[in-house]
Amino acid sequence: MADVWDAYRHELDGVEDQVRKNLNSSVTLVNTVAAHILNSGGKRVRPLLLLLSARLCGYAGRDHHQLGSLVEFIHTATLLHDDVVDDAEIRRGRRTARKVWGNQISILVGDYLYSKAMCQVVEFRSQGINEVLAEACKKMAEGEVLQLYYNGNPAMPETDYIKIVEHKTAGLIAAACRMGAILAEAPEAQQDALFRFGQHIGIAFQVADDTLDYTANGKSLGKTIGQDLRQGKATLPLLHLLHHCSDADRQMIKDRMETRTLTDEELQRLIRLMEQYGSIAYALNRAQAYVAAAKRDLDLFEDSTAKRALSVAADYMVTRDR
């Protein structure tokens, strides 16, 4: 994946330039808060997928820089809102905006970034792009509400977990891929294929991320390990464990979800149980299956540098360590 980042670094630099240009509110605090998270080390995965999808479909222009920056604005808005909902203290190894400026400012700056992106996307005068981005924003909100509905509930069906992931995470990634194809005026079949590709790798990305919450090094991950359970979230490895562990262990997990507490000792015990019952392996295998499906979505396209880069990016969704 490092080779892909290097190969398209100049393209992503164009996105960064647009991010800085678009961050031009007359209210200085808006710019300061937004820059706090925009400059915190995000890899710009969504803009990268957008530009790779555009290049795959033969696009030779430069409008993907602007469109990629708007996708990043929307993604950043979701992070600001999520940190408030989750009472998060750390994001990418730094204090969250809500810890520095408070919940109200974080929510309002998130609203500003949403609004800014939607105002500027109309300049493309593309009904297709408008519809795709609006639908993605709607689904992200629905996914957040569904996740809150199940918060603290260990009985959530796995199908609803996947639905949450598909809406909250995969929706914007899929939209980015389709918008790249729309920029290139690609046929509907290619747009659909890239949308499915984005959905599949988006789900793989989130399933792997949820698994990292129990397996990664907290410092490299940039957040507290075990935070999902402390927030009452039942993610795929935990759902698998709940279906296979003993009644006593199941009750312990339910208690921890209800009280939103988890000691380091309890976390280590939980990780051992996941290893014992194959919960980590199960979740990662599911993620790999989505990656395989994503690669099949690319079969419609002829071999090219962009296609190979997208295939590498699909693998990266599961092999990354943070």
DSSP conformation letters of 5-34: HHHTHHHHHHHHHHHHHH---SSHHHHHHH
Task: Please say whether the beta carbons of 50 and 177 come within 8 A.
Answer: yes
pLDDT value, residue 222: 54
**In percent, how much of the chain has pLDDT > 70?**
97
Taking the C-alpha atoms of residue 184 and residue 182, their distance in angstroms, rounded to an integer, is 5
Using CB atoms within 10 Å of the CB of residue 266, give its burial: 0 to 12 exposed, 13 to 18 middle, 19+ buried.
Answer: middle
Whichever domain contains 185, its CATH number is: 1.10.600.10
Residue 223 confidence class, pLDDT cut points 50, 70, 90: low
Is the pLDDT at 10 greater than 80? The verdict is: yes
pLDDT value, residue 172: 98
Number of continuous H segments (helices) and E segments (strands) in the chain = 18, 2
- Token couple for 20: 């800085």
Is the pLDDT at 3 greater than 60? The verdict is: yes
Residue 225 confidence class, pLDDT cut points 50, 70, 90: confident
The residue-averaged pLDDT of 33-37 equals 96
Task: Please say whether the beta carbons of 140 and 167 come within 8 A.
Answer: yes
The pLDDT tens digits of the residues spanning 39-80 come to 988 889 999 999 999 999 999 999 999 999 999 999 999 999
pLDDT value, residue 93: 82
Is the pLDDT at 216 greater than 80? The verdict is: no
DSSP secondary structure code for residue 168 in this structure: I
Is the pLDDT at 321 greater than 70? The verdict is: no
Enter the pTM of the model.
0.95
Residue 151 confidence class, pLDDT cut points 50, 70, 90: very high
Longest dimension (CA), the chain: 60
How far, in whole angstroms, is CA 146 from its chain's centroid?
16
Taking the C-alpha atoms of residue 51 and residue 57, their distance in angstroms, rounded to an integer, is 10
Is the pLDDT at 157 greater than 80? The verdict is: yes
pLDDT value, residue 42: 84
**In percent, how much of the chain has pLDDT > 90?**
85
Contacts of residue 103, Cβ cutoff 8 Å, sequence gap at least 6: 84
Nearest to 177 by CA among 21, 67, 291: 67
Could you list the residue range(s) of the whole structural domain that residue 127 is in?
A: 2-319
Neighbouring-strand partners of residue 90: 95
Which ranges of 150-278 does DSSP label H, i.e. alpha helix?
158-165, 171-183, 188-215, 218-221, 227-230, 236-244, 247-259, 264-277
Domain count for the chain, please give it.
Answer: 1
The pLDDT tens digits of the residues spanning 264-286 come to 899 999 999 999 999 999 999 99
Residue 215 confidence class, pLDDT cut points 50, 70, 90: confident
The pLDDT tens digits of the residues spanning 117-143 come to 999 999 999 999 999 999 999 999 999
Residue 92 confidence class, pLDDT cut points 50, 70, 90: confident
**What's the mean pLDDT when you consider all of the chain?**
94
The residue-averaged pLDDT of 134-154 equals 95
pLDDT value, residue 322: 57
Is the pLDDT at 177 greater than 70? The verdict is: yes
pLDDT value, residue 268: 93
